[in-house]
Amino acid sequence: MTAAKPRISISICIPHWQAQLYMTLCLRSIRKHSARYDLEVIVVDNGSRDGSLDYLRSLPWIRLIERPDEKPANWPVNVFTAWDRGLEVATGDYYLTMHSDVFVKRDDWLDPFLREISGGPQIAATGSWKLDLENRFYAWQKRTVGYAVAKAKSMLGLGKRVRWQQANYPRDYCALYRPEALRQHKLTFCPVGGCTGGGYSIAKQLWDAGYLTPVFPVREMARCVYHIAHGTAAIAPEKRLNHAHKQKQTEIKLARLLEADWIRALQIDWTLDEVDEDRRVSIQTAAGGVDEVVEMADQFANLEAARQDQSLARL
């Protein structure tokens, strides 16, 4: 009789700062759709001062690392160092970086990652590009023009130094890595050699070490997870985007998401938290609980309604 193969274990690391709305949905979606996987979920809190930290402390099934000295002004570096910190304690066969505004949609959501990374020991990372389902030519044009403008500003001393980045590396909002490769070569998610931090920095270091980082199609990723992108800007005044149009787009994207049935189901499913009744009541009282989430959904629904009224007025 052939012995059953041990299940592959995966450590997921999610940086967090005062985003209970997102973190609640993110963690519950992971819990709901990951029964077939052996997961370790690590949350690295970057100095939250609100009720979100109490919520995280109440969850018995996550591994919480608190960094009370971190400040919002240290963003995004503290996101990169959070992934470095998570890697130090992760016990899984693989290591998945994730953003708090990423929500799982399917029970087989990790299968594409495992399929790609099982291609051989030379494959040290996998994932996909941005979850923008747009025309390929338009995406290329936007990226090229954006780089040219940023480069011109940099040469005139009006902007920071920029470098052309390949569009075929796993974006860190949801990317899987071989932890032994990262540890063996002492790699970091922080900026190195002029590269931006996060997914590109770690991919560039892996390429230099001789590894491959294949990506799978964006549409396949979109079937597995939903990513708001810059989601904190929609709920935290301290993190608003400089570009007003992009800020409004992010707020509208959140409003539409919170109206989705599958998200509303996550909002009210406290069983996914595994919190005892007394603790659940105290956290609801301190942080607003389900009422706060629903109230925020209504707030952004009103924003979307106002946008539609403005569009009709222009017709």
Alpha-carbon torsion, ordered 212, 229, 226, 312, to 10 deg: -140
pLDDT value at residue 149: 53
Global pTM value: 0.79
Return the HEC string of the chain: CCCCCCCCEEEEEEEECCCHHHHHHHHHHHHHCCCCCEEEEEEEECCCCCCHHHHHHCCCCEEEEECCCCCHHHCCHHHHHHHHHHHHHCCCCEEEEECCCEEECCCCCCHHHHHHHCCCCCECEEECCCCCCCCHHHHHHHHHHHHHHHHHHHHCCCCCCCCCCCCCCCCCCEEEECHHHHHHCCCCCCCCCCCCCCHHHHHHHHHHCCCECCECCHHHHHHHEEECCCHHHHCCHHHCCCCHHHHHHHHHHHHHHHCCHHHHHHHCCHHHCCCCHHHHHHHHHHHCHHHHHHHHHHHHHHHHHHHHHHHHHHC
pLDDT value at residue 154: 55
pLDDT value at residue 99: 97
pLDDT value at residue 283: 43
pLDDT value at residue 75: 85
> In the chain, which stretches have pLDDT less than 50?
1, 133-135, 137-143, 145-147, 162, 164-165, 278-315
DSSP bridge pairs for 38:
9
Q: Directed axis angle between helix 289-314 and helix 244-258, to 10°?
A: 120
Cα 200 to Cα 6, 163, 207, 293, distances in angstroms:
32, 11, 10, 34
